[in-house]
Structure 1
């Protein structure tokens, strides 16, 4: 099984990217997990998708098709998820050959420096899954608040949070196996 990790913050020192990199280490050996780079996907514009679709649209669509499921990592921007995630969802779901997300398992792991762990962003993103036909993992819900305090000076996740994240990753693997069996 191959799982795509989509990080909504494009910032070089992104906390959500650090969470995703930690999660990547926690997958079982028989599951391949990779971060899907969404930083070069231009804003969706139907004019760029007409006769000959934009090259970066084609690349991200082909990349997404390689995966059996996805975990989205998002901070909270103005009580919602990031424009980068919104954009990649729009581009991939509007593929003339069919959405690369259709009927695939997904989860949202959100993190913020604030006290609510980007809960509003997490819920808003899960709501978007309904329209693009991603099948969300219901439990556990992953909201990491005060994420800056969850890593030591070497950027290693503190043990208690790492254990929680590992349980969430393993729960997602089970969810993905169940969905992909059908």
Structure 2
């Protein structure tokens, strides 16, 4: 059985991020032939095209982790009705220099959780537009717009019983999507 490595990019730097918890909890729902590996984005320089010929070590590491993955899971917060700047910066760094994007062809999916009633719906829509441009086949549905409420996670950090069936169905779709595009 081959192992499918998934790069997980959380669009929040907050230590106690709901999205980091969601990324951890949903990874535990994956089949045994999948591994979910968090990718660090907090140490990347601000993207500057002048640096394309001499990318920072952290950018090279990010690009290598994406290149070595079978797919990418974006779990994003929503800041001011869009994606966080740190996530956009990571996307920009790994897409350059032009013609050397680490993202191209990688199957992707987008999730998010927020205290707001519509979850991260607007951030996810913006992110999907970016991923389409980057030539990342992105799972279209089911869409996952989660409102953070008591019971979303249990004391061990697993997905709570009220969301387990829905998110397991999502995980089944995502793993099938990655295999389809392998």
1:177 equivalent to 2:179? Answer: yes
Range 123-132 or range 32-41, more displaced: 32-41
Structure 1 unaligned segments of length 5 or more: list them.
none
Q: CA RMSD in A?
A: 1.6
Equivalent pairs, count: 179
Flag the 1:154–1:63 CA change in 2: closer, same or farther, 3 A. Answer: closer
Q: Shift of the alpha carbon at 1:137?
A: 0.3
1:6 equivalent to 2:9? Answer: yes
Q: Tell me, what secondary structure is at the counterpart of 1:80?
A: coil
Q: Stretches of 4+ moved more than 3 A in 1?
A: 152-156
Whole-angstrom distance in 2 between the partners of 1:43 and 1:63: 19
Range 149-158 or range 33-42, more displaced: 149-158
Q: Shift of the alpha carbon at 1:43?
A: 1.2
Structure 2 unaligned segments of length 5 or more: list them.
none
Range 113-122 or range 161-170, more displaced: 161-170
Q: 1:59 aligns with which of 44, 49, 61?
A: 61
Q: Indicate the residue corresponding to 2:82 in structure 1.
A: 80
Q: Indicate the residue corresponding to 2:41 in structure 1.
A: 38
Quick check: 1:74–1:108 contact (8 Å CA) kept in 2? yes
TM-score (norm 2): 0.91
Range 13-22 or range 82-91, more displaced: 82-91
TM-score (norm 1): 0.91
